[in-house]
Chain A
Amino acid sequence: MLYKKFFESLVPSSLRSSFRESFRIIENSQKMAKIKDVDHPHIDFEKAVIYGKLKQIKYSKINNVDANIPRLTSVWCCRLKPQQTKAFVKFIRECITPYEPQTFTHIKRLKKIGTGKDFRLDGILCSSSLFTTKDQILELIHEYSDPEISEMTSDQINEVKIPSNIPTTREISLEWSEKFWPMSWRGDPNAQFLKEVKFDIVKEKQMIRKLLDVLETATEEIESKKPTLPVATIVVNPNNEEIVSTSFDCRLAHPLHHSVMLAIEQVAQNEKKSRLQKSAHSVEFDSGYLLNGLVVYTTHEPCVMCSMGLVHSRIKRVIYLQPMKSGGLETNYQLGDRDDLNWNFETWRWLEEEDLKKLHEIERKYKTFDQEVNV
């Protein structure tokens, strides 16, 4: 599926006929899109709420960003002959995509230049934030094994500006395609995201329950073992639903030992241990990088420090229940969803009344807890 998506983003519609294989893939993915386009009764597109329980937190929505004004970003592109495109696609997949901080699924990777037999293609190599100078990208190119790529010269490479956002209508998308770079338009992008995001809502509910249960149990401990504040975080590997860490607020021991920071520390320590064991048995590393791909469930909206800690840890998604005055995900800055930071993750707030009620009951056991605190 990833491969299909990747290919689709690479090939402009005008060129599809010349790529037999990619043509088939694109046709299939278009059919799939149509099947998905039936009713989505569980999504409130206007409020960005799924199943009435999960509210998506978006920077653009909170800050009223106009999606129909292009936000331009610099990329490196190269001039190619049609026969070089296969090698180009392979080069991008192997050497660029794994490291690329920006996504290019909203544009075509290749743009046709000229008509007739001698047409050329401009292909987007990478964002200018990946390689800041032409020399750096050239060095990578020259080291590549395929001469179709490695023999590229400096004059074939240029820096161009493309929109980093997607407009809400097809008309504006076409206008930008003319003006800047061919865009892929598959409908309002966030609506598309809400349709495609996968939640097993029963399991999500169970996880929230689990989070509240572990917090409740912990707060019933004797005074010296209790969490300092009634805040808990669990980290889950979404692939096998395994809970990889459980942590509580512990600022009595250290004012910065908030539950999210401790969760990050626990995951790191586990990883370090498992790497040591693996290397003892001389097995190849197949380990995680930071919290990449993991999902964080936490009772309260994390403070700015913890929110940015999640950005540094490259998590996949966070779900929390109670928004906080000094929170960094929704109330302030929306740190999980900013264009000016080098990592984004999905941010969701759990809305279900009965779970919030339960959380507030637990909170009431703590006289000093209030909405103003950094958690």
Chain B
Amino acid sequence: MSDGLTTEFSMMSLALYVAYRALRNNETPVACIMVDKNIQKVLSVGYNGTNDTLNGTRHAEFIAIDSIFDQFIPKEKHGDAEYVRSFFSNVILYVTVEPCVMCASALKQIGIKRAVYGCGNDRFGGNGTVLKINDDEIDGRRGNYKSYGGVLRSEAVQLLRNFYIQENDTAPKPKIKSNKQISEKKYTPNIDFFNLYTSDEFNDFYTCCDPNLFHVDHEVFYEITPNGDSYSLNEYISENTVNMLPDLPQLFGGHSSFDVVEDIETFCSLFYDIKHQKVDFSKTIQTVEDLTKYEKKRKLDQD
């Protein structure tokens, strides 16, 4: 890859943007896109729908898979396992959080080409954090797929933090009210690259990153960067790329009028920049709570 991880970062920033739209629609900000690897076209998007459906299995991956079945696989081929596998052998999943054990198994069963994810999922990650479903011995290794984490992972974590300061009243969990220090809190360690990949595998995908930075016992947590050692999210997302997303109006709650340019600007304002492969806390970022307050105020002013 001559452009380093530029393509991967562009795709992941779209998944992150979908997750951000989910958050604005009061859903859990975990999202994914599925991309045809040959023509670099976004085939489908999905975000977590467990709150809305009351179904704990409606994870982003399932929504995106179902959308592909609806749009691209003829009805009479839905039951044709070989047809389905050959279709998904050209599809790459970009998901903001590591697929869980359930999704990892589902992705294997449909024969996904590859998964790229943001942050690890230490509660039920199925691509290496808790179990390694994507690379195990079950079913004679049939459907096993490669999986690469750490792409825009601090951004994925930051988005989740925005969610946990909102109240989620459908799940039985303690009410943790807004944490004022949310934007200054340190990030959790990066994924355990050393145990997940051989050095060849690492170099193959994370072309321009130094594997030695990612020892888990380091005090400082380094981030994967696309090319060079610094970036801002706004370099990887634009009106043009966002317009590649199918069902864009749906991400805006079905509204017909929305300003993508302004929304991308807001989206980018939620994240820190990365400098020298570390999160640079010097920038002032917004939280979704700030945005809601701002919108309420603007609405009041207009009324």
A253 interface residue per 8 A CB criterion: yes
Q: Are B174 and A130 in contact (CB under 8 A)?
A: yes
What B residues does A290 contact at CB under 8 A? 54-56
Q: Are B57 and A312 in contact (CB under 8 A)?
A: yes
Task: Tally chain A residues at the interface, Cβ within 8 Å.
Answer: 49
Report Cα–Cα, A308/B84, bound state, in Å: 22
A363 interface residue per 8 A CB criterion: no
Q: A304-B138, A305-B106, A326-B139 are in contact. Are A268 and B55 (CB under 8 A)?
A: yes
Report Cα–Cα, A328/B109, bound state, in Å: 14
Q: Are B138 and A335 in contact (CB under 8 A)?
A: no
B173 interface residue per 8 A CB criterion: yes
Report Cα–Cα, A306/B133, bound state, in Å: 13
Q: A254-B69, A255-B109, A312-B57 are in contact. Are A289 and B171 (CB under 8 A)?
A: yes
What A residues does B179 contact at CB under 8 A? 135-136, 139
Measured CB to CB, the nearest residue on chain A to B55 is A268
Q: Are B174 and A95 in contact (CB under 8 A)?
A: yes
A11 interface residue per 8 A CB criterion: no
| Interface flags, A331-342, vs B, CB<8A=1, else 0 | 011010000111
Given contacts A261-B57, A308-B101, 10 further A-B contacts (CB under 8 A): A96-B174, A135-B181, A136-B176, A139-B179, A255-B78, A272-B54, A312-B57, A314-B56, A332-B138, A372-B139
Shortest CB distance A135–B (Å): 7
Report Cα–Cα, A36/B80, bound state, in Å: 55
A62 interface residue per 8 A CB criterion: no
Measured CB to CB, the nearest residue on chain B to A343 is B124
- Which 6 A-B pairs give the minimum distances between C-beta atoms? A308-B102, A252-B79, A268-B55, A305-B105, A312-B56, A304-B105
Q: Are B55 and A264 in contact (CB under 8 A)?
A: yes
What B residues does A271 contact at CB under 8 A? 54
Which residues in B have some Cβ–Cβ distance to A below 8 Å? 50, 53-57, 62, 65-66, 69, 78-79, 81, 84, 100-106, 109-110, 123-124, 126, 130-131, 133, 136, 138-139, 170-174, 176-177, 179, 181
Q: A136-B176, A289-B172 are in contact. Are A254 and B55 (CB under 8 A)?
A: no
Q: Are A312 and B102 in contact (CB under 8 A)?
A: yes
Report Cα–Cα, A130/B25, bound state, in Å: 26
Report Cα–Cα, A143/B171, bound state, in Å: 20
A residues 12-30 near B (Cβ < 8 Å) are none
Q: A256-B106, A308-B101, A308-B105 are in contact. Are A268 and B172 (CB under 8 A)?
A: no
* Most chain A CB inside 10 Å of its own CB: which residue of B50, B105, B138: B105
Q: A255-B84, A289-B171, A374-B109 are in contact. Are A309 and B57 (CB under 8 A)?
A: yes
Q: Are B53 and A333 in contact (CB under 8 A)?
A: no
What B residues does A96 contact at CB under 8 A? 174
Q: A304-B138, A374-B109 are in contact. Are A252 and B62 (CB under 8 A)?
A: no
Q: Are B81 and A255 in contact (CB under 8 A)?
A: yes
Residue among A139, A228, A268, A341 making CB contact with B177, cutoff 8 Å:
A139
Q: Are A264 and B139 in contact (CB under 8 A)?
A: no
Shortest CB distance A223–B (Å): 13
Measured CB to CB, the nearest residue on chain B to A258 is B109
A residues 284-330 near B (Cβ < 8 Å) are 289-291, 303-306, 308-309, 311-314, 325-326, 328
What B residues does A264 contact at CB under 8 A? 55-57
Q: A140-B174, A253-B79, A289-B172 are in contact. Are A333 and B124 (CB under 8 A)?
A: no
| Interface flags, A247-281, vs B, CB<8A=1, else 0 | 00001111110000100110010011001000000
